[in-house]
Amino acid sequence: MARIKRAYSPLLIAALFAGVGGYILGCTPPKPEAQSQAPAEQPDAAGDSEQAAQPDQAGSDPGTASKYSPVKARARDFYAPNTEDLGPDEMRLIACGTGMPTARPKQAASCWLLELGNGDKFIFDVGTGSAERIAALQIPYNYLDKVFLSHLHTDHFGDLDALFVGGALAGRQKPLRVWGPSGETPERGTKYALDHLRKALTWDIDGRQGLTDPRGYHLDVTEFDYMGVNETVYQENVVTIRTIPAIHSLDGPVSFIVEWNGFKFVFGGDTYPNKWYAKYAKGADLAIHECFIAVPDMIDKFKFTPQSALAVGTQIHTAPEAFGKVMSIIKPRMAVAYHFFKDFDTTAAISDRIRTTYDGPLSLSIDYMVWNITKDDIRVRMAVVNEDVWPPPATDKPQLPDQSTRIPYSDAISGGRLDMKKVLQPTYDAINKQYGLHEKQE
């Protein structure tokens, strides 16, 4: 029972820290065999001492209670970004968006960051609102250059522009690589969507020319066949990513299967329960699958008509009871449900319905939930993030832009400038002196 008690505490702490009470409801702790022994935290993260890194043992045995110290830090039971090493045989998954196409502060739309112990990081979906969650993790943007899109609904790629432009400005010094499915027609494919997204950003990117490091403002798009069944779409650095079709809205959506180091991670995009997921997600270490809002709540809270609630909530998407059925078939080490508003008065319905068809390890996800996955253990916690976040350091030296590429204002607009030369000259003088430069005002 100690394990179950412990599984709740990080959520409670995170909820208190984040000022978002109510998260704790409905996060079903995994079965003891799934969570087993949590590995000791990295000594660096724990503060210092061996005692500090072993709070569980101390807590479960009254005889060792003296290990607690009034002056030494105990190990954290939440995840603080940029404080823990990732082991060579470990994966970390962070939910950067778990919600819906309708925006809300508590939940961005679908976005998942997978970090592997070999240093690779992959973003699966980048739904509306998720770019700020990614930013909160304080990861240098050069490491966040690979995005895989399950389909082209805005709740799955609506913040790609923010990651693309904001990421370049925040230190991504290389193109943003994006993989996504084709469609039944070229106009419904990822390449078409992102070519046009890039065009829509013409004014934005033209205006940055000659001012900042130009290398990040490029999209490198790989479109793959949405019909591919377990076809490889990525293979680098001993990581293989395959896709399977999904059944959702129109032809085109897919799910992804990542294999690395003996681990299998599955990210399911939106779908009606389908045979490909049932077959190829089998035995996954961690399997994400959508799980829609229960139909009665779609009617009461989402204001759907009963007809639309049934059609959207059970036929276009996966209803909670159907999610449970899928997980009973594939039997993952950990099942992760998303794509519902997780509130104090909606979570029980989701959980109850899932439990009519599935009794295995389960996470009802919310933004900033974190999974550390090793061969022996899956540890689930909440991240506690700093809202006053600034860009992380760039991993390479910034490249000075060619100022001659700056596109000038027209004479008419330029002629509207007030004379601020005297006001600004002290700033130029101070910075030139401090950095040994000879910059001049325009």
Residues of this chain that interact with Zn ion (CB under 5 A) are 153, 155, 270
Q: Which is nearer to Zn ion, 34 or 246 (CB)?
A: 246
Closest CB 191 distance from Zn ion, rounded Å: 19
User: Half-sphere exposure (CA, 13 Å, Cβ side) for 332?
Assistant: 32
Comparing CB distances to Zn ion, the nearer of 3 and 151 is 151
Measured CA to CA, the distance from residue 78 to residue 26 in angstroms comes to 18
- CB of residue 229 vs Zn ion: minimum separation in angstroms? 20
Closer residue to Zn ion, CB minimum distance, 155 or 321: 155
Q: Which is nearer to Zn ion, 115 or 270 (CB)?
A: 270
Coil vs helix vs strand at 300: helix
Six-digit token pair at 13?
A: 């702490």
Q: Which long-range contacts (CB under 8 A, 24 or more apart) does 397-406 make?
A: 398/171, 398/173, 398/213, 399/173, 399/213, 399/214, 399/215, 400/213, 401/209, 401/210, 401/211, 401/212, 401/213, 401/214, 402/210, 402/214, 403/210, 404/210, 405/209, 405/210, 405/214, 406/209, 406/210, 406/211
Pick the closer one to Zn ion by CB: 155 or 285.
155
Element at 264 (helix H, strand E)? strand 263-267
The rounded distance, in Å, linking the Cα atoms of 84 and 39 is 12
Listed in sequence order, the DSSP H helices in 86-180 are 130-136, 154-157, 160-161, 167-169
- The residue among 269 and 392 lying less far from Zn ion, judged by its C-beta, is 269
Give the nearer residue to Zn ion in terms of CB position, either 14 or 111: 111
d(CA 406, CA 416): 19
DSSP 214-236: GGG--EEEEEE-TT-SSEEEEEE
In angstroms, give the least distance from the CB of 149 to Zn ion. 11
Q: CB of residue 232 vs Zn ion: minimum separation in angstroms? A: 24
State in angstroms the smallest separation of the CB of 167 from Zn ion: 22
Residue number, 153 or 333, with CB nearest to Zn ion: 153
113 touches 123 (CB < 8 A): yes
Look-up of token digits 């990513």: 241
Which residues pair with residue 379 across a beta bridge? 372
* Minimum CB–partner distance for residue 153 and Zn ion (Å): 4
As measured in angstroms, the least distance from the Cβ of 407 to Zn ion is: 38
Pick from 177, 190, 187, 219: nearest CA to 202: 219
- Supply the minimum distance, in Å, between the C-beta of residue 254 and Zn ion: 11
Find out whether 324 and 345 touch, Cβ atoms under 8 Å: no
Min separation Cβ 290 and Zn ion, Å: 7
CA distance 4 to 118: 31
Q: Closest CB to Zn ion among 84 and 270?
A: 270
Here the tokens at position 36 are: 């087993």
